[in-house]
Structure 1
C-alpha cells in the first residue's frame, strides 16, 4: 500500500505497488545479452486470454520480448520469452491483434516484424523460450507500431534501414489473416519531421466517433511527427489523405500522444522541451472538435522537471510515464483542465532531466491493475487507490 508517501521504498501518492519483476528476472536463468550499457526494458503492452481470463504483461527488453503471467499480480511470473530477430535495441515496440502480438525494433536492421500467437501461452507451467509463428520481411528497423484492433490494420512508423520504409511515415499492414500480414499502403506528410520528411515517431488510429460529423466512421490517425501533430484519413489505404497539421512555436520533439475516449481531445507529450523551452514537464492539450483545424487549448505543467515519455488515456485518467519521476496520474474529467491526481516514482533517487526511469504503461486490464516499465528497474504492477 502507498502509505504516508511511500510504497516500500518508492515515493507515491494514490498508487499502490502490487508486484515487481527486475530487468534480469524477466528472462530467468539467462544473463542479458549485448553490452551492459544497452541493458534495459522499454515499451510495454498487455493481453488478456479470452478463454481463461488470465492477464499478461508483454514487456520489451533490449534483447527480446518477455511475457509475464499476472494471474497472481502480487507475484508476477515470467512465463515466456521471444528473442530478438536481430541484435539488441533500446527501442522495441509491440501491439496485439486477434490474440497475436506483433513486435518491431529500431536501430536493428533486418529485424522486420515478428508475429507470435499468444494462445500458445495456455498450459505453460514453466518459463519457455518461444519461436515466432511468422515474420513480416517488408520492414527492417521500425521505431513504433500501432494497431487499430477495430479494423485489423497495423501502422509501423519510423521505418528505416531498408525494406519498404514509406518515407518513415505510416507503413500500413493488413492483419485480417493474423499469421500472414500483407502490405496495404504508405502514407507520409512530408511537410513534417526534422531530418526525414514525413517521419512519424508514433501514431494512434481509430474509427472516428468524435464531434466532427464530416469524418464520422472514417479511419482517422493522429501522428506525432517530431515537428507537428498530423491528422490523416487512412480509410482508403491506397489513397490516404492529410486532413490537417498542428504545431507550436517552442516545440522540441513532438513525441507521442493519445485521444480522449470521446475523440475530441488529443493529449501530447514533447520529449525534449524540458530543460530547453519549459522548466517543468509539459502536457499539451489539443482540441480536435474540428479535425480540419486543431487548436492547442492548454499547456499543463507537471510537478517536476522530469522528461515526459509515453502516455495513455483510460476513461478520465492519463497514465503518463515521466522517466525519472515515474508515472504521473492525471485526472482529465474536465478535458481542458488536467489535474495532478497521483504518482508512483520508479526511480526514487532522481527527479531530473535524464533519460532513464519510467518508459511506458498499459492501463487497459479489466482487473483494474496497470503495468509499467522502468528502464533499469524492470516491470511494476500497480493499482490506483479508490
Structure 2
C-alpha cells in the first residue's frame, strides 16, 4: 500500500468514532464516503462483501504494544426489542453498539474492566451478554440489554469461581454456560443461567480426556471441544457431573474452534497453529457409534495465492444456513458456500487489514457474527475495530431455523407480493434504515400474501417475516412509487 492509501486508512480510523455519534445527514454521507474509501483502498482483496459501517478509536488502550498491537478481540451480536446490537472486546473495555442502522453504528455502552487484556469473548442469552477475558482478573461480567435503547446495565461482575477464562460457549436449548481455559485449569466449567440469567448457578468443573479445552461448541447438551494439540473431542454433557466421551480425532495441529451445520451431520474446525493449517471437515453421521471422520480440508491463501507454502491462518469459523464464515487473520473475513458440504466454494471476502500486503503473523480479523435478522454481519479486527457487512442478494436468518420466502417486485411501487414455500402463520414487519418499523401485517394458514406499501415513502427498507414456528426471513427491498 502506498503512503497516500495508508494516510486514508488512518484518516478513516480517526474520523469514524466521531461520525458514529452524529446521525445527521451530513455526517451520514461523510461516514458512508469514508467507508467507501476504505473499500476502495483494498478493492483488489475484496469480493461480494458490502461494507456498511465501520468504527474504530485509536485512543483506546492497546494490550500488547510491543507485539501485535492488539486493541480489539472478539465480537458478538443480538436482537432486543426489534433493534440489533453488536458487542466487541476492547483491550480494556467491553463496547456495545446499536447497529440497527448498520451505516451508522452508535456506541451505547463502554464498560471498563480491571485489566488490559486480549482476548475478551462473548455469548448471549435472554437479552443478556456474558463476557469473559483471558489475562488479568476480570472474571465473569453479565450485561442486561433489555432496555438498551435507554441504558445497558452490568448486572454481575464476579470472580468467585475464576479470575480469567479463555472462551465461553452457551447452549440456548438448556441455558447452560460452558467456560474453557483460563486460571480455572483444564477441562470445562459449567453454569446454569436458565432460572436466573443475571446470577447463573454453578453446576460442575470436570477435567476431561484431552486436558486443556481452548474452545467448545455446544448443541443440545453435546459438547464439541477444541483441545489444542490434543485434537477434537466430543462429549455427552446431559449430566454435567458425569460427561461421557463419545468420539475424538486430531491432525496434530492446534484445534482452535469448530461449528456444526444446521443438520448436525458435519462440523468444520480451524487449527490456529502452525500457520498454513487448513480448515477440516468432519463427518459426524456415525457419532452414535463413536465414529467420526475427517472427510475434507481446504484453505485459501489470499495474501499470496501463488505461494506453494501456505501461510494463511483460519482463526474462528461460524455457520449460518449454508454459509461458512471464517475470520482468517490477515486475509480478513471469508465466506464459503457449503451447500455441497465436501466442496466449499469461496463466494465472498473482505480484507479488514489492508495495511498488510503479505503474511506477517497474527494480525487482522479475529471473529464474526452472521446471525442478525437483518442480514448485517458483525466482524472484528484486532487493529481496525468493528466492521459491519452484508452479502448482496443473500437472505439471512437467526440460527437455527430459517424461512424461505420470495418477495416481489423489487423495486416495489404500490403492492408487495410474498410467496412462502409452505403454509404458515406469519408476522411481517417493514423497517427503514434508521431501524424504525413503518408497517406491520400478519396472516394465518396461507402461503401467499399481498401487502399495500403505497403509504410508505420512497427508499430502502428491510422486510422481516417471522413464522409462528420461530423461523425468520429478512430481505432488503426498494420502494419507488
Could you tell me which runs of 5 or more consecutive residues in structure 2 were left unpaired when the two chains were aligned: 1-31, 33-37, 303-310, 394-481
Secondary structure in 1 matching 2:146? helix
The equivalent position to 2:91 in structure 1, one of 62, 72, 75, is 62
TM superposition shift of 1:246: 0.8
Q: Tell me the TM-score normalized by structure 2.
A: 0.68
Partner of 1:195: none
Whether 1:15 and 2:44 are equivalent positions in the alignment is no
TM superposition shift of 1:228: 0.7
Partner of 2:100: 71
Secondary structure in 2 matching 1:121? coil
Partner of 1:326: 332
Whether 1:371 and 2:378 are equivalent positions in the alignment is yes
Could you tell me which runs of 5 or more consecutive residues in structure 1 were left unpaired when the two chains were aligned: 25-29, 125-129, 193-197, 208-218
Partner of 1:302: 300
Whether 1:45 and 2:71 are equivalent positions in the alignment is no
User: Aligned in 2, Cα 1:262/1:351: closer, same or farther, shift over 3 Å?
Assistant: farther
Q: Tell me the TM-score normalized by structure 1.
A: 0.84
- Would you say the 8 A contact 1:270–1:282 is kept in 2? yes
Partner of 1:214: none
Counterpart Cα distance in 1 of 2:280 and 2:130: 29
Larger Rg: 2
Higher relative contact order (CA 8 A, sep 6+): 1
Partner of 2:112: 83
Counterpart Cα distance in 2 of 1:58 and 1:87: 18
- Would you say the 8 A contact 1:306–1:351 is kept in 2? no
TM superposition shift of 1:90: 1.1
Matches within 5 A, 1:87-236: 87-108=115-136, 110-124=137-151, 132-136=154-158, 137-160=160-183, 165=184, 167-176=185-194, 177-190=196-209, 192=210, 198-207=211-220, 219-226=221-228, 227-236=230-239
TM superposition shift of 1:131: 6.0
TM superposition shift of 1:252: 2.5
TM superposition shift of 1:31: 4.4
Counterpart Cα distance in 2 of 1:338 and 1:186: 37
Counterpart Cα distance in 2 of 1:96 and 1:82: 17
TM superposition shift of 1:188: 3.1
TM superposition shift of 1:353: 4.6
TM superposition shift of 1:33: 6.8
Counterpart Cα distance in 2 of 1:151 and 1:100: 15
